[in-house]
A and B are shown apart, each in its own frame.
Chain A
């Protein structure tokens, strides 16, 4: 039994319509008739004895091919959901037509206006049949058009559709044809390029309002394009205006004819990509109006509702997105599942669909910051899929993102599974066609842009050009994998990077973020991509120092304007804060801390991660300012918050910070239990790098208890060294080196003169690293130790050098010059 019986059209008439995206005959519309006529010119019916190649009126084969390519793109492009008015078609045609002096345009308008009675239409389609069939006495090779080519199929569909049409349908076409032709009459003459200048000068004296009206009309081609949103956000107000304009035109003059279903879907997919990549370029209300118009014209095209969901989501409209999400999945009944473009067994699609619904719901809750609800939705998605199918499913990735906070241990397993699933999925999808129409769209758009080069004087249109060419080159090679899948695959890498961040493997973080930024940048949304950049820049800061990081940050800020990317903004503050702390610019550090505080108490919702980060930084600033009591208070309250919200990673680092505070305030004994607790926490959750860091702190604490504990401290340092040297950043490595040297120096059984390199090598390494970091306090300590060691060895010159460096750093620390510099980069 067909499960969709009775759902399809909501009316009995459509019951037998193909349900699973099979090909539906396109409606014959005036625009299609115009294209058919052009095809007829392109490939005139074969004549007995063979015609000339290229046929009249083409001058060369290249010229002939140009029209062919033009027609091909016309049938594939998806820049809008309505078919273009005749005026626009003629303008584009002129770009091909300039060699024949407008013969094509003239011939087209003449033919179209000649179709005035039903019988004319019958004759017209009769004539078209000649394009595809060879006359008697002629060979098959005389036929110019392959019936199985894109244009051949198009022509056959139109002819078939006309033949199966009722008389009422023919009458409708005639009525529409009149409107279609009359829509072009008014402005056709104006659109002559060579006439434009004189027209323009004549109009100079005329009423300005009228002139702008004409100008608008002339620009109407752009109106249809600019609300697509490929241009930058500067276009937002423009497109709003254009939309109204275009709308008025469409309803008044041009009969509203939808493009083919294939083109509509391609249009919607393209819009979805734009929304996902750069939501700020799409104004909420005007795009919604566009979608509503499309919905009234095609109520059974439910994917429109999905776009409405996306639109609401990307503009943070919770209620709107929730309602549209549910509406879309209620209606589509599996027929337009998220990823399904191929025909697959219906039961499969249905389950896939409900699972997609839950995944989307989960994403929605994620987006609005409801991790618990998101987790429920994802869990339900997994459960539903397990209930119904054997096929592996794509829900692990998103699931992981919410679980990450509470139980990072599960994540890697899931991620590995998901990548396998994605590979499977990629294989599935590879078999289907992946031309999404963007190639044709941009070809066509560039054609008209080139032919209208006179208007490129305005900044907007130039920008439009540039973007179009970008698009043209990037998409010239259609990607074998649909963008949604690419995106999903990409986000697994991003997730992996985050997971490794928790485990504490810097190289793995770097590698995954790099893979993401290089391989998936095209499909990524700007927010995800900026996240990958943030991770890479953080790595730079930790491993290469601040100057390198700030260089990269400048580039990133250029790529992602700060207004759109909160990630980048946050990163800037993090880097500035770290550097200020290291340089000892405490006032600046405090100022940035205050900014963090403001961000975390934002009015539009509480981000618990941001809140904990703000307190953590406050505690560290207080610690640097030697306000131990206050620092401990802040850290203690932070610990209870983290404990309450099950934030394990933060728990461990806060404990470590508390140990640090006690260490710095010379209460090593009190610090020990915190360090131990942190260490066991890290062990329990496999946070390896943090564990090494805790071990190092433990060693420092033991060391602070007196030289008798030097041995124990040394063994702890050795224990942590492999992890720290392999994965730790500059600061951690330097600290480890210093502690190592200190252990040796404190050890009464150790003599520097016997093994100078055991102390000097780590210290040299540490000073080099700290120099890069501009970490004055620790650098001073390292130089001090170095000077002591040289002193023991009796190497006086080197001792003086080290002492001078020591003094330099101490001075910089104690008399911070130009604190304001710390805010610049």
Chain B
């Protein structure tokens, strides 16, 4: 058992080093964090959580969910999060049967090949963000490592220039056709290497992101799969792959080797695809081995927040912040949670802390915006959301939240615009669709609003609120389409309509139509639910 954990440690240790050598900073950071996150070998039962991915049984899922759904505030989690703390290990499946994992040999390239000194120089240039200089030093250097760093440096140089150009070229029509000028040459070079077989997994990763930038998503996926199959510890490659998996069909058709890193990937992909229960299941299992990993805890908390288990999620975030006080990643989710719970003081504390840590992070701006929004100062809130979007234009939730703020400010055109941008970045964002519907309904256009409610309920068919909103449109004075309204309320009543609005309304409508029997029946059901 302990040796398995030792294997993880050994793999991650060398991965962090190798990734760092190649200036893949965030992947190296991720590996190192995880390395420290592997539970110490003290408790013998602790590692039991890692069962093989294929042996997951439906029964254990149900049990887990039940535990998390019941309102007893996160106590089960607190137990499990303590290393060696008993109780939790019994509930998680079979002991570590590592058989189904494919072990991947760690490539050994730590020794410098020829030209090692030049590589060293190039890496220092790269570290100082002098990319073209780094690439220049490595010109005519053989060896896969040197070739990779040269290509990567060129890519980064192109990206840097692109970012600059995007600002330089921005005209009144929002023109932003700046492209990375290096892409064409790099693609040509890397595809030659791939054909001749002289490319390593890092080169494949770079090739993958270049293809993605060029819009060849299918090929990019294939290349990234090749990369992670030959070198599974590069988290950046996994997350690029994840961003290219926009539907569960694509995800299921990937031809991935069964490495333990795949579990991290799948869990994250499930979370993004809103398959929360599957995501939670995987993270719980991973948590058995990587008990001290802040990443996993943050992800678990995010899933639970998405599943509206606010209390449990809050406990985890609090714990996370205690052990890692200068963390900014995922803290925007925490701030959303605090906003939902209206914990003004906790939110202000969080905002203050991230402000001192790093105020120029999109997440930090979002937290401050949330704080002002909770304070009712919506203009200031909009200001910070806009700053967050300046830092990251594709920051989806900021667009949606800014839409909410504009609604508060009664600036409907701006709100519509903001929501629409969110929807165009991710057409599966049902909240923004719902927001659009609400605005149009507020403007007295219930018929027009129906389109948006339909979109949102299509994406989130088990959410009673969406069906109720649609029903209210149908029921509204101008439309008076009672039959359709009844159908929607029925859908809502069959979903998780905890407040019983749908039943109540159904009874009312049936009575209106003179169907008193149905009304009485529903009233009864309502009373039973209420008691």
Query: Is the CB of B73 closer than 8 A to any CB of chain A?
Result: no
Task: Pick the residue among B390, B417, B448, B452 that contacts A11 (CB under 8 A).
Answer: B390
Query: Is the CB of B107 closer than 8 A to any CB of chain A?
Result: no
Q: Is the interface of A mostly helix, strand, loop or mixed?
A: helix
Contact with B along A159-199 (1 / 0, CB 8 A): 00000001011001000000000000000000000000000
Question: Restricting to B140-171, which residues have a CB under 8 Å from any CB of A?
Answer: 164-165, 167-171
Query: Is the CB of B407 closer than 8 A to any CB of chain A?
Result: no
Which of A1-9, A461-469, A559-567, A690-698 forms contacts with chain B? A1-9
Query: Is the CB of B172 closer than 8 A to any CB of chain A?
Result: yes
Task: Pick the residue among B168, B386, B390, B451 that contacts A172 (CB under 8 A).
Answer: B168
Inter-chain CA distance A331–B403, complex, in Å, is 13
Contact A376 B390, beta carbon cutoff 8 Å: no
Contact B414 A7, beta carbon cutoff 8 Å: yes
Contact A330 B173, beta carbon cutoff 8 Å: no
Contact B177 A4, beta carbon cutoff 8 Å: no
Closest to A383 in B: B478
Query: Is the CB of A447 closer than 8 A to any CB of chain B?
Result: no
The residue among B382, B393, B452, B478 with the most chain A CB atoms within 10 A of its own CB is B478
- With A13-B170, A322-B451, A377-B447 in contact, is A298–B175 under 8 Å at CB? yes
Q: Which residues of chain B are within 8 angstroms of A3 by Cβ–Cβ distance?
A: 411, 413-414
Contact B443 A331, beta carbon cutoff 8 Å: no
Query: Is the CB of B446 closer than 8 A to any CB of chain A?
Result: yes
Question: Restricting to A333-369, which residues have a CB under 8 Å from any CB of B?
Answer: 333-334, 350, 354, 357-358, 361
Contact B173 A7, beta carbon cutoff 8 Å: no
Inter-chain CA distance A169–B420, complex, in Å, is 31
Contact A330 B451, beta carbon cutoff 8 Å: no
Query: Is the CB of A49 closer than 8 A to any CB of chain B?
Result: no
Inter-chain CA distance A354–B442, complex, in Å, is 13
Q: Which residues of chain A are within 8 angstroms of B445 by Cβ–Cβ distance?
A: 354, 358, 380, 384
Contact B174 A330, beta carbon cutoff 8 Å: no
Query: Is the CB of B419 closer than 8 A to any CB of chain A?
Result: yes
Task: Pick the residue among A4, A256, A300, A384 that contacts B174 (CB under 8 A).
Answer: A300
Contact A333 B448, beta carbon cutoff 8 Å: no
Q: Which residues of chain B are within 8 angstroms of A383 by Cβ–Cβ distance?
A: 444, 478
Contact A12 B175, beta carbon cutoff 8 Å: no
Query: Is the CB of B436 closer than 8 A to any CB of chain A?
Result: yes
Query: Is the CB of B424 closer than 8 A to any CB of chain A?
Result: yes
Contact A384 B417, beta carbon cutoff 8 Å: no
Inter-chain CA distance A26–B436, complex, in Å, is 34
Inter-chain CA distance A10–B419, complex, in Å, is 12
Task: Pick the residue among A4, A11, A301, A333 that contacts B170 (CB under 8 A).
Answer: A11
Question: Restricting to A8-33, which residues have a CB under 8 Å from any CB of B?
Answer: 9-14, 17, 24, 27
Interface residue total, chain A, C-beta cutoff 8 A: 48
Task: Pick the residue among B172, B444, B448, B452 that contacts A361 (CB under 8 A).
Answer: B448
Contact B448 A327, beta carbon cutoff 8 Å: no
The residue among B169, B170, B445, B479 with the most chain A CB atoms within 10 A of its own CB is B445
Contact with A along B353-366 (1 / 0, CB 8 A): 00000000000000
Query: Is the CB of B176 closer than 8 A to any CB of chain A?
Result: yes
Q: Which residues of chain B are within 8 angstroms of A10 by Cβ–Cβ distance?
A: 174, 389, 393, 421
Contact B169 A172, beta carbon cutoff 8 Å: yes
- With A297-B177, A300-B172 in contact, is A379–B478 under 8 Å at CB? yes
- A19 → chain B closest CB, angstroms: 10
Q: Which residues of chain A are within 8 angstroms of B393 by Cβ–Cβ distance?
A: 10-11
Task: Pick the residue among B168, B417, B448 that contacts A7 (CB under 8 A).
Answer: B417
- With A299-B176, A380-B478, A383-B478 in contact, is A6–B414 under 8 Å at CB? yes
Query: Is the CB of B286 closer than 8 A to any CB of chain A?
Result: no
Inter-chain CA distance A605–B446, complex, in Å, is 27
Closest to B409 in A: A1
Query: Is the CB of A63 closer than 8 A to any CB of chain B?
Result: no
Inter-chain CA distance A804–B406, complex, in Å, is 88
- B117 → chain A closest CB, angstroms: 36
6 A-B contact pairs sorted by A residue (CB < 8 Å): A11-B174, A13-B167, A299-B176, A354-B448, A379-B478, A380-B446
The 10 residue pairs across chains A and B that have the minimum distance between CB atoms: A300-B174, A333-B413, A298-B173, A330-B420, A168-B168, A24-B172, A7-B417, A299-B174, A7-B414, A376-B447
Which B residues lie at the A interface, using CB under 8 A?
164-165, 167-177, 382, 386, 389-390, 393, 406, 411, 413-414, 416-421, 424, 436, 443-448, 451-452, 478-479
A6-B382, A377-B448, A380-B478 are known; give 13 further A-B pairs, CB within 8 A: A6-B414, A10-B393, A11-B393, A17-B172, A168-B168, A172-B165, A261-B173, A264-B173, A297-B175, A299-B173, A327-B424, A380-B444, A384-B443
